[in-house]
Structures are given as structure tokens and as C-alpha cells.
Amino acid sequence: MTTVSRFGALRARLRSPIEPAFLVRRSLGAVVALWGAVTIVFLMLYATGNPAEVLAPETATAEQVAELARQYGFDQPLHKQYLDFLLNVTQGIFPNSLYTARPAFQEVLMRVPNTLLLGFTAVVLGSALGLLIGYLSSSSQNALMRTIPIRVLMFVQSVPNFFMGLLLIYLFSLTLRWLPTSGFSSWRNLILPIVTLACYVAPNVARLFRSTMNETRFDEHILTARAKGISERAVRIRHNAINALAPVTTLIGLQLGGVLAGAVVVETLFAYPGVGQLLVQSVVSRDYPVALAAVILICLGYNLASLLVDILVVIIDPRAQNR
Amino acid sequence: MSAVSTSSAAPARRRLPPLTVTVALVALAAMVVTTFSAPLLGLDPYKQDLMAMLLPPSPQHPFGTDLLGRDIAARVIWGGIPPLFVGFSAAAAAVLMGLGLGLLAGYRQGLTDSVLSRLADIQMSIPGLVLALLILVLFGASITNLIIVIALESWTMHFRVVRSQVMTVRNLAFVEAARLAGIGEESIVLRHILPSTIPILAVTGTANFSQALLMEAALSFLGIGVQPPTADWGMMVSEGQAQLANAWWVAMFPGIALVAVMWCAQVVGDWLADVYSVRGDELQ
Amino acid sequence: MSFLDIAGLQIEIHSRAGAVHPVRGVSLQIDCGEAVGLVGESGCGKTITSMAIAGLLPQAATLRADRFIVGNLDMHGADAASWREVRRNSVGVIFQNPMKALNPRMLIGTQLVEAMLPQDRKSLRASYLKSMELLEAVGITNPAARLRQYPHELSGGLAQRVVIAMALARGPKLLIADEPTTALDASVQKQILDLIDKLRAELGLAVLMVTHDLGVVRERVDRVAVMYAGRIIENGNTADVIRKSSHPYTAALVAAMPSIDHGPDMPLQGLEGLPPPLIDLPAGCALRPRCSFSSEICARIDPPLEYIARTNHWAACHNNRGDRIELPATAGQILPSVTRLERDPEPIMQVRAVSKVFGERNLLNFRQHNKIPAVSNVSLSISDGEALGIVGESGSGKTTVARMMVGLETPTTGDILFRDRSVAMLAPAGVDQWRREVQFVFQDSSSSLNPRFSVARSIEESLLAVEPDEEVRRKRVGQLLAEVGLTEAMASRRPDQLSGGQRQRVGIARALARNPRLIIADEPVSALDVSVQATILNLLNKLRRERGMSYVIISHDLGVIRYICDRVIVMHRGKIVESGYTEEVLKNPGHDYTKKLIDAAPRHLKELAYA
């Protein structure tokens, strides 16, 4: 009879599903995507014809513009400008804001924590709500529980996010006076924006989770689990539900772009001082350095979040790495 | 084949849509027709009447008036034109682009596929609204630009599904059989591959329409889309936000119009996805 | 002492189309330590019956029985908790596809521990030791490494051993095996079945072996029950049931199996048609539409299961006269030597020293593919009027060779010649001739026909390039349909409205459209039910006789090869290990691998039947 140490027994049950090859491949993909995004920004800037004019304040004279052009090297050959641009961006060097005269990246970075808080909480909340309602509508014994919550969510999905926010303001701020309408002076300001954003995430999550649960309910490994004699609840959750999480997590990853776009709108609606609001403000006021810096940082954040979600998917379903 | 499969010899291929879907289709058609016949209805969305500012709904002004005394009902009808037009055109353009490039990438594979796929990946690494904001502000916010921007942002959705479908179908035995029958590659694409992409394009197309509409509304809400005084639902909601406390109708009616169109499009889209068995994680 | 005692089991499932009765009165007894086989083709209700015994029916199913005793407990109307107890203590189940039966996201070790009794998994160390014990008992070498692996990293045979270990973890008294080897290669099948036998002997298990393969059952179980359309129609000692079948369906099953012990001189017989759908069955015997013995009483009364003294077992047929059933001769059964019209000694196609390596590096995709060649230095030739078989297991490269011969793949090295000219260098006219004279029949008829096309349109496609006149094409399609035994009415049907056998006939009709001299068929009958296989094989023989065609038949089934092919090539891991005349190779196999294949194939079936 073999003997074994406690460590050996533990090791036999633990193993990371993530293969190094996958990690490398995916990270490389993220870097390439980011490079592509920065290049697109660069191209946008130069497609206007006169980047110096774009980056200079509106009141600048022709001389000042020419001075700026020389300063930033816009008179140099294109490929050299491109390389300089890339180098500068990776180091975080960017022109200053036209209004506050602070470096553009700094302006944006100041706002990142706020948007992160908003976005992260909204995704978590929205996903949790979606999973709950999806589970109910697929596995609940009560017929009402199976139909009503998800129908409500479906209706919510057809309400555009800015209108949803508006309705919430009308109800909770103006009529009931429970919550403030805008700004960021206390935690109360967070509730409505988070709820509005979560309403974007929840419906699709619920729908996909429900259909996946229903589809996989008769999968053979569920039958095998039941054949082992473990409790029905363990079968439903450990085998059915957690396995069904894989496509849902992929979906959440795909929705992150929409969440960021939604954040832009929601922050503007609620005058919430995040990166999205800064982006819109800077775009409207033609503060291009800040606008471009915001775009680049948003892309960075999006790609990182996407990478993390993909890793999460692999942890749930190791087969996803071998696509 | 299990003992409980109950398909009979001739399954009905075309099932009639359920009642909700028919209602949604009819409603959608009605709204589209009303909106695009706005010029014929003789309503003026621009007429200001500073004596009649912010009036609540009444028989003369069924939806009330806004800050400049304009009739909101008229503006709601006219205001549907930009979103619906942009939504439809952008979706159509995106579908065509996605179909063409997806066919190319899926069928040719190799370098073409790698390049196009990387392009799509890079495109998808910038959230749509963000890119749209940038482009519109640099190049101006005309309806044409709106359509172009939204189409550019959403072609990847169709590209992915078409490419995946083409890659699956081209390896199926019946395509190989067709090759062995000696009909040309072009015939194969037209006879076998293209028709197999239509169902899924129907689904992604309707999803795209909803998304495009939403994006147009959001951009106009932010002030970067359609500019005043043109009537546009998104923009009207934005104008109404300031008056929300004392004149709720200014923002509510255009918002409700948006919800109505979105809901109809969603019901139809869901039904199509159901009929053609497409899952949510394949759509985004 | 009986462990399982069921009488009059009926199961009803409510679906949108109505009430389905997949089980219409099944009685079964299994004693402790006994092995019983439950045999039938797809749709007969055997799987549902076995699931009912384990309490794993879907919620929409309702169950009625006169007696339903499992392991000394009366389970009639039992609730979910009682069934869980039964599954925990007395019954273990193994399923058909081990890859699907294991949870892809959990480690093998974790899943194994989940199956154990609470006292075995009190601590990490205890569960580890028990896991090792279980894995060793099912013959897994290096069990410690397996515990830390994911299901997709295991081979099919290994995964099935794990599933068996899980089923036995709590020491059940009955093991239900639902098609345990169907998804596995022939040589692995034998290992798994041997393992089950061994465990049965060691642990005194009762075994219920559910399968469609009479061959599997013949050698391994004491008694066998044959099911058709939800009822048991024959039941008794295995040797008796097979040798002295007293029901037409059993006789047909026995007669339809191409065994390597019987060659082209003893023709196969199949049953035309399909089992009836199990909704609203008409009165009378369910086999009547397909049975050549049916009489008037068969249309009115469903025959009861009766004891037949002469043959010492039970059968349900009005027409048994207490003796073995003799199936009537079917037309075109005796096979004279193939009539040759003008025999061209020159080979139609030749394969010369061909190798194929898969996997091109994709520039922007940093993945490397295996460099193991799929096909390695293979040569063969096929002449007019010959039938060549290529046999091997999955991964042997046989399909790749076939595909290269028609141009669906190109060889990495070596040459493929059509009528003495290299196919790589053919001019368009030459390519056209090649395509005309050499045709291909695909394995899986459900994907070889465009699901949106009607049958006629699919067949017509072969003619599109050569016959511009639509009317002529239509007529030709009609002729082809008749030749393969299908009616004109089928021309407008879609593939999903046809049965597997009918679809395969369409595939053959399509291949015949341009009157080829050589047909290459890739596993032409593997995806079909046994009784239908026989009809397709008979069709292939008939066509060969009438048209004087040559065949190259790819199959993993030695019985099929023996029935149709004069010569055979045995392939293993991309190489040819043996070749020669079929009879010779089967009587005196030279290579070890050939011996292994022959060994793993079921034998003695027909021999005993005609004893």
C-alpha cells in the first residue's frame, strides 16, 4: 500500500488550468491590440490634415501654431513622427491640456479611480443580478419566478441607458428625494449611476445563463454526477451552473466595451467625475490632447480587463485555451 | 436518435411567428412609416412660439411644448428620422462589409484571414462610442459621418460570425462533394456557402440595427451627433434633462419613442435568434 | 437471489407532440453476480429502461410497473431521496462517451473523490489513497499523474476506465453499462470489456450491458434480452437466443452482422424500413410493416412474450412454431463472380510512396502543429473490377489516403497516378476525366448532403457541369434514385426527412451520376444501424455486379471488408503493415497488429447461427 504525505495528497488535487503557452499568446495579442489602437489614434490625428492646428488652442495665431508644429516635430517625416509618437505614448509623455496646462495623461489618470469604481461595481452587480435571474428562470420550481423576473429584465434592455438614468433620477431624486442627482460628494452619488450601468450588463447575462443551463441540463456529465448519488443541489450548482458560467463569462468580456461606452454616457448624465465625463467634456471643448489621452487610456483599461476576463474563462473551462 | 425523438416525416419549416412578434413587427413598421412620412404630414418641428413655452400636454399640443415653444409631438415624429435612418443605413453597410470580408477571410484563409482577423481584433480593442466620439469631433458630425462611423464600428460583429460559419461550412462534406462534382469555386460559394450565412446575418443584422440606433441616440444625447435645431430623439432627451423637474414631458416622450422602437426591434431579434438557434455569446 | 426484479414496466413521456411511450411493458430479472445483456437498435428504448433502473429519468417522464424492485427495495413511486440512496449504495452507471461523461473543468482526482463514500474521503490523505486504489483496480498505470489531469488530456480508453472507477467507488452491486465501448476503437473496446469481465468476477457484480452490438453480448453475458419498439421481444440464454432465434427481428439482427467469419458467399440480410415512432402506435405487433412472416393476427394483437419449450427461452411472435426462425431468401443474394465486360489490366489509380504531413505554420499564429505524418510511404494500386479494402483504426491514415486519391488532400511527398498520369499534372480535360471515372462516397451522410437542398438537387449537382438540359438531368436523377432503391417521391425530400440508410443511398446515387469506373467509399456503413448496414452492403455488391465497377472501401470493421473486398490493406499509424488477398490475410495474418485486429473483432456469430 502506498503511503503519501499530506503535501502529496494536496498536490494531487490542485493544479492550475492555465497553460503558459496560452498566457503568452493572449498577452501578446493584447499588446498587439493596444498598439493597433494607438496607431489608429495617430492616424486619426494626422488624417485631419493639420495636427498642429488640432492640438493648438483655438485662439492661437498662425505663428503660434507653426511654433507648436516645430516643437512637436510635425515638420518631420511621417514615419519618424510615428515612432516618436509611439515612444512618447509608452512613456506617458503627451502634450498638455489646453485648459489646465497639466500633462494630459495626468489629467486622465486622476479620474481613473472613479471610473474604475463605477465600472467594476456595475459589472459585478449586473452580472450577479443576471446570474441570479438566469438561474431562477431555468431552475426554479415556481412558474412565476421562472417567467416574470426575466421578462422584466428583457424590457429593461430596450430602455437606452441615458433614458434609464433619466427615469431613475426622476423617480429617486426628484420625486422621492432619496438620492442626489449629480456630482460625487458622497457614496449616495454612486447608487444611481451603478444601477443604470448594471442594467446594461444584466439582461444578456440572464438570457445566456438561462439558455446555457437549459441546454446543458441533459449533458452526460450531469447524468454521471447524478449517478454518483450526490445531492440534487450539488449537481445543479457544482456541475450544471458552474460549467454554464464559461460562456457567460466570455459574454461579459465581450460586453466590457459596451460597459465603457455606457460609462461615458452615464457619467455625463450624472455629472460624475470620471474618465468618460472628461472625454466628453474635452471633446466638446476641443481640448484634444486630453481627449486623445483619454482614448488611449480607455483602450488600455479595456484590453487589460478583457485579458483578465479571458483568464477567468480558462479557469472555469480549461478547454478554452486550445481553440 | 433516442426513443423520444418526435420529429415526424415532414417538419414544418416555416413556422408563423408568435403573436408578440407579429405585434412588434407591425408596430415597428407603423412607426417607421409614420416617421418617414413626416414631411407629408404638414407638421412643423421648428416653429417656435415663445408665448407657449413649456406647456404641459393638451389637445392642441398632445405632447406639450418645449423651452422654445415648439410642439413636441411634431418633433417626436420628425425626430425619429435621424435615428431610424442612421440605424438602418449603418446596419446595412456594416452587414455588407462584414459579409464580404467574412467570406473572404473564411474562404481564402491563410494570410488574408490573418490580416483581416487582426484588423478586426484591433478595431474591437477600441470601445465603439469612444472611437465614434473622436472621429465625429475631428471630422464633423454630419449624418453621413454618423453612418460611416457606426458602420465602421460594427462590421466586426458580422465579420466574426460569417467567418466562423464559412470556415465551418467549407469543410463540410457536401462542399467537398460539390468540389468533386467539378463545379467551380464560385458556384460553390454562391450555392452552398453564401446561403448558409443568411440566417445568422438576419440575427446579427437586427442586433446591429438596435445597437446602431442606440449609438446614434447616445451620441446625439452627448451633443456630438445630430445638432440643433434638427429634431432627434436623443438630443431631445438631453434638452429635456434640464427641465426634468418642472416639465417632464420634454424628455419623456422622445424617450418613450426610443423605448418603443428598441423593444420592437429586440422582440423581433430575439425571435430570429430563437428560430435560427443562435446564442448570445456569438452575437457580440 | 435476484437483485433486480421488474415486471410490466411502462414509461410515458409528455412532449409537445403528444405522449410518447418509449417503454411499453418490459420485464427483467437480474440475479446477483449475473450478467445480462439488453440489446436493440437505436430508438428501441433500451437506454431509457436502463436509466429507469438507476432512477435517472427526466422529470417529464412517468413510470408505471407491476413490480419494480431494485436491490431488495420496492422503488415503485419512490421519491428522489430514495433513488439517491439506491444510486449511492447499490447501482453504478457507466455511459457511452467517456469524454462527455466527465466534467471538463474538474480534475480527475476531484471527480473521483466526489464519487466516494464519506468514510473514504475524511481527509485528503485518505481520499488520495482510495483514489489510487480505485484507479489501479481498473488497470490504470501511473495513477498519481492521472489524478492531476483534465478529462480532455486523456485518451478515450483511459477516460472510460476512470468512469468505471467512479461507478465502482462505492462498491455497488449492479453495474449498468450503457454502450460502454461504442465510442472507442476496436482494440480498446476489447480491453474495456475484458476489464468489466474481470471486475465482475472479482467483485461479484451483477452487470446490465446495454448495447446494439450482438457481438459484444455474445461473449460476455449469460442471458440476453432483445428489445424492439419499447418491448422485449426475445429473452433467454445467450447461446439459445442467437443460435435458435425465435423472433424474426432477432433472426434478422443475427443475420445482418457482417462477421469476419463469413464471407461474400453467405449473403447478409437486412430489414428495410425503420422502427415505428413511439407515439400513437397502432394495434398489433410493432414489427409488422417490416416483417416477412406477418399474418392477419399480427395486425390485431400484440404478441405476448411466451415460453417456447423447444428452444428453452421466451419470444413474442405469433408465428414461431417453436423452432428456429428461417429467414426467407432475399433477392440477389447469391453472389456469382463479378461479370467483367472488358477487363482493362492497367490500373485505374496508383498510389506511389505517398506521405502526408498535416499542419502548416500560420505566420501570425504562434501555435505549432504535430509533425507526425498522418500517412507514411503508402503504395497501392487498383484495377478494373477489383475491390480493395483499407482497414485500420482511427488515426491510421486510411481516410487520408482515400481523400488523397480523389484530390481532397494533396500528398506531401510521393505521387498519385490516374491512368498512369500524375494527378498533379493533369490538364483540365484530364482532371475532368479523373472526376468522371473516380467518385467518392462520404461517411457521414448527414453532413455530406446540404441540409437545405432537396435530394434531387444534391444528386443533380454532379450533373451540373456536364448536362445543361434541366429536363435530361431530372430524368437521370429519377433513374439513379431507382437504381439505389429509392422512390421518385423521395426526390423532393430534404435530408432530415430521410433515415440514415436512405441518406447513404442518396450519397451513392450522387456518386453514380457520371458512371464512374471506381468508387472510393469512406466508412460507408459505420454511421448506420446494424440491420440497415446489411441493405447498403448488399446494394454496393449489386451495383458492382451490374456495372462492373471497382471499389476502394475504407472501414474499421473487418466484417464489412471481408464481405465486399477481394484484397485488403491493413494500416496502422500511417503505414501499411500488411496487404494481400482478404481470405489469406484473415486466415494467416502476418503482422502482429493484424492479429490484434482480428482478435478484437467479434466472431462465431454466424457460425453458431447456422450450426
Has residue A69 got a pLDDT over 60? yes
Cβ–Cβ contacts within 10 Å for residue C288, how many?
18
Q: Nearest chain A Cα to C94, which residue?
A: A224
What's the grid cell of residue A266?
452615464
3 state DSSP class of A240: helix
Q: How far is CA B210 from CA B86, B213, B274, in A?
A: 11, 5, 17
Has residue C607 got a pLDDT over 50? no
Q: Inspect the interface and report whether the beta carbons of C277 and B4 lie closer than 8 Å.
A: no
Report yes or no: A246 at the C interface, CB cutoff 8 Å: yes
Burial of A315 (0-12, 13-18, 19+ CB in 10 A): middle
Lowest mean pLDDT segment, chosen from A162-171, C70-79, C343-352: C343-352
pLDDT of residue B280: 52
pLDDT of residue C104: 85
pLDDT of residue A268: 92
pLDDT of residue A198: 95
Q: Is the dihedral of CA C489, C492, C493, C499 positive or negative?
A: positive
Q: Nearest chain B Cα to A176, which residue?
A: B245
Has residue C301 got a pLDDT over 90? no
- In DSSP notation, chain B reads --TT----SS--SSPPPPHHHHHHHHHHHHHHHHHHTGGGGT--SS---GGGTTPPP-SSSTT-B-TT--BHHHHHHHHTHHHHHHHHHHHHHHHHHHHHHHHHHHHH-HHHHHHHHHHHHHHHTS-HHHHHHHHHHHH---HHHHHHHHHHHHHHHHHHHHHHHHHHHHTSHHHHHHHHTT--HHHHIIIIIHHHHHHHHHHHHHHHHHHHHHHHHHHHHHTSSSPTTS--HHHHHHHHHHTTTT-THHHHHHHHHHHHHHHHHHHHHHHHHHHTT--GGGT-
Lateral strand order in the sheet of C231-237: C91-94, C174-178, C206-211, C35-39, C223-228, C231-237, C313-315, C306-308
Per the CB < 8 A criterion, the answer to whether A198 and A260 are in contact is: no
Q: Which amino acid makes up residue C271? A: L
How do the pLDDT tens digits run along chain B, 284 residues long?
Answer: 343 333 333 333 456 778 888 999 999 999 999 888 888 877 787 888 888 788 888 888 888 888 888 888 888 999 999 999 999 999 999 999 999 999 999 888 888 898 999 889 888 888 888 888 888 888 888 889 999 999 998 999 999 999 989 988 888 888 888 888 888 888 888 888 898 898 889 889 999 999 999 999 999 999 888 888 888 999 999 999 888 888 888 899 999 999 999 999 999 988 888 887 665 554 44
pLDDT of residue C328: 59
Which distant-in-sequence residues (6+ apart) come within 8 Å of B144 by Cβ? none
Residue-wise pLDDT for C249-281, tens only, equals 888 788 776 665 555 555 566 666 667 777 767
Chain A residues whose CB is inside 8 A of the B216 CB are: none
Chain B residues whose CB is inside 8 A of the C15 CB are: 4, 6
Q: Inspect the interface and report whether the beta carbons of A318 and C104 lie closer than 8 Å.
A: yes
Report yes or no: B112 at the C interface, CB cutoff 8 Å: no
For chain A, counts of helices (H) and of strands (E): 14, 0
Residue-wise pLDDT for A169-214, tens only, equals 988 888 877 787 777 778 888 889 999 999 999 999 999 999 888 8
Question: DSSP label at C44?
Answer: S
Q: CA–CA separation, C338 vs C546, rounded Å?
A: 8
pLDDT of residue C60: 80
Residues 20 to 79 of A: which have CB under 8 A from any B CB? Answer: 29, 32-34, 36-37, 39-41, 44-45, 47-48, 54
Beta bridge partners of C422: C417
Q: CA–CA separation, A236 vs A214, rounded Å?
A: 11
How much is the average pLDDT of C19-29? 87
Residue-wise pLDDT for A129-140, tens only, equals 999 999 999 888
Listed in order, the ranges of chain A carrying CATH 1.10.3720.10 are: 112-273
Residues 3 to 22 of A: which have CB under 8 A from any C CB? Answer: 4, 6, 8-13, 15, 17, 21
Has residue C343 got a pLDDT over 60? no
Q: Inspect the interface and report whether the beta carbons of B177 and C22 lie closer than 8 Å.
A: no
- In DSSP notation, C503-535 reads HHHHHHHHHHTT--SEEEEESTTTTS-HHHHHH
pLDDT of residue C273: 66
Q: How far is CA B225 from CA A54, B137, C319, in A?
A: 20, 9, 84
Q: Inspect the interface and report whether the beta carbons of B130 and A255 lie closer than 8 Å.
A: no
- B18-283 — its CATH code? 1.10.3720.10
Q: CA–CA separation, B9 vs B252, rounded Å?
A: 53
Q: Which candidate, C289, C323, C317, places its Cα nearest to that of C302?
A: C317
* A177 conformational bin, left if phi > 0, alpha if psi -120 to 50, beta if neither: left
The partner residue sitting opposite A12, judged by closest CB among C96, C97, C148, is C148
Q: CA–CA separation, C64 vs B77, rounded Å?
A: 64
Q: Inspect the interface and report whether the beta carbons of C447 and B174 lie closer than 8 Å.
A: yes
CATH superfamily of A112-273: MetI-like (1.10.3720.10)
Has residue C42 got a pLDDT over 50? yes
Residue-wise pLDDT for A24-49, tens only, equals 988 998 898 888 888 888 888 777 77
3 state DSSP class of A202: helix
Which distant-in-sequence residues (6+ apart) come within 8 Å of A315 by Cβ? A17, A18
**Residue carrying C-alpha cell 426554479:** A140
Report yes or no: C391 at the A interface, CB cutoff 8 Å: no
**Residue carrying C-alpha cell 423605448:** B259
Q: Inspect the interface and report whether the beta carbons of A224 and C102 lie closer than 8 Å.
A: yes
Q: How far is CA A149 from CA A144, A191, A237, C111, C415, in A?
A: 8, 21, 20, 34, 65
Helices (H), C90-206: 98-101, 108-114, 124-137, 143-147, 156-168, 186-203
> Pairing mode, if any, of strands C35-39 and C206-211?
parallel
Lowest mean pLDDT segment, chosen from A171-180, B101-110, C430-439, C577-586: A171-180
Report yes or no: A169 at the B interface, CB cutoff 8 Å: yes
Per the CB < 8 A criterion, the answer to whether C538 and C332 are in contact is: yes
pTM attached to this predicted model: 0.80
Chain B closest CA to C347's CA: distance in Å? 21
Phi, psi at residue C330, to the nearest 5°?
Answer: -95, 155
Q: What is the mean pLDDT of chain A?
A: 85
A65 vs B126, higher pLDDT:
B126
Per the CB < 8 A criterion, the answer to whether C234 and C245 are in contact is: yes
Report yes or no: A123 at the B interface, CB cutoff 8 Å: no
Q: Inspect the interface and report whether the beta carbons of C17 and B5 lie closer than 8 Å.
A: no
Residues 27 to 46 of A: which have CB under 8 A from any C CB? Answer: 28
Q: CA–CA separation, C403 vs B137, rounded Å?
A: 57
pLDDT of residue C466: 81
pLDDT of residue B150: 93
Has residue C332 got a pLDDT over 50? no
3 state DSSP class of C225: strand
Q: CA–CA separation, C37 vs C222, rounded Å?
A: 8
Q: Nearest chain C Cα to A240, which residue?
A: C103
Residue-wise pLDDT for C79-131, tens only, equals 888 888 888 888 999 988 888 889 888 889 889 988 888 887 788 888 888 89
The partner residue sitting opposite C100, judged by closest CB among A1, A220, A317, is A220
Length of chain B: 284
Which distant-in-sequence residues (6+ apart) come within 8 Å of C536 by Cβ? C270, C501, C504, C505, C508, C524, C525, C528
Q: CA–CA separation, B218 vs C563, rounded Å?
A: 71
Chain A residues whose CB is inside 8 A of the C144 CB are: 12
Per the CB < 8 A criterion, the answer to whether B249 and B239 are in contact is: no
Chain C residues whose CB is inside 8 A of the B192 CB are: 450
pLDDT of residue C335: 44
Chain B closest CA to A231's CA: distance in Å? 27
pLDDT of residue C334: 42
Q: Inspect the interface and report whether the beta carbons of B127 and A302 lie closer than 8 Å.
A: yes
Chain A closest CA to C429's CA: distance in Å? 41
Q: How many CB pairs under 8 A join A and B?
A: 155
Per the CB < 8 A criterion, the answer to whether C382 and C388 are in contact is: yes
3 state DSSP class of A255: helix
How much is the average pLDDT of C69-74? 84
Q: Nearest chain A Cα to C57, which residue?
A: A223
Residue-wise pLDDT for C462-497, tens only, equals 888 788 888 998 999 999 998 888 888 888 888 888
**Helix, strand, coil shares of chain A as percentages rounded to 5?**
80, 0, 20
Chain B closest CA to C513's CA: distance in Å? 10
Subunit partners of chain A (3 or more CB pairs within 8 A): B, C
Q: CA–CA separation, B261 vs A154, rounded Å?
A: 14
**Residue carrying C-alpha cell 413521456:** C13
Has residue C443 got a pLDDT over 70? yes
Subunit partners of chain B (3 or more CB pairs within 8 A): A, C
Residue-wise pLDDT for A248-293, tens only, equals 998 998 889 889 999 999 999 999 999 999 999 888 888 888 888 8
Residue from C100, C107, C128 to probe the interface with A (highest A Cβ count within 10 Å):
C128
Q: How many CB pairs under 8 A join B and C?
A: 97
**Inter-axis angle of helices A143-157 and A104-139, nearest 10:** 150
Has residue C338 got a pLDDT over 70? no
Output the furthest CA–CA distance in chain A (Å, rounded): 89
Report yes or no: A237 at the B interface, CB cutoff 8 Å: no
C286 vs C453, higher pLDDT:
C453
Residue-wise pLDDT for C355-407, tens only, equals 888 865 444 444 555 567 888 889 998 888 889 999 988 888 899 999 999 98
Residue-wise pLDDT for C528-541, tens only, equals 877 788 888 888 88
Residue-wise pLDDT for B50-75, tens only, equals 887 888 888 888 888 888 888 888 88
pLDDT of residue B255: 94
Residues 136 to 155 of A: which have CB under 8 A from any B CB? Answer: 154-155
Chain B residues whose CB is inside 8 A of the A161 CB are: 218
Report yes or no: A167 at the B interface, CB cutoff 8 Å: yes
Beta bridge partners of C581: C567
- Let me know the angle formed at the C-alpha of B204 by B203 and B207, rounded to the nearest 5 degrees: 90
pLDDT of residue B6: 33
* Terminal-to-terminal C-alpha distance of chain A: 41
Chain A closest CA to B203's CA: distance in Å? 15
Cβ–Cβ contacts within 10 Å for residue B163, how many?
24
Q: CA–CA separation, C338 vs C213, rounded Å?
A: 31
Q: CA–CA separation, C49 vs C9, rounded Å?
A: 8
Residues 176 to 215 of A: which have CB under 8 A from any C CB? Answer: none
pLDDT of residue B4: 39
Domain ranges of chain B: 18-283
Q: Inspect the interface and report whether the beta carbons of B279 and A291 lie closer than 8 Å.
A: no
Residue-wise pLDDT for C172-193, tens only, equals 899 999 988 887 877 788 888 8
Q: CA–CA separation, B80 vs B213, rounded Å?
A: 10
Q: CA–CA separation, A235 vs A238, rounded Å?
A: 6
Beta bridge partners of C224: C37, C236
Q: CA–CA separation, C103 vs A219, rounded Å?
A: 10
Residue A323: pLDDT band with limits 50, 70, 90: low
C524 vs C603, higher pLDDT:
C524
Note the ipTM here: 0.84
Residue A121: pLDDT band with limits 50, 70, 90: very high
Q: CA–CA separation, B84 vs B81, rounded Å?
A: 5
Report yes or no: C92 at the A interface, CB cutoff 8 Å: yes
Q: Inspect the interface and report whether the beta carbons of A227 and C93 lie closer than 8 Å.
A: yes
**Inter-axis angle of helices C156-168 and C186-203, nearest 10:** 20
What's the grid cell of residue C183?
465510442
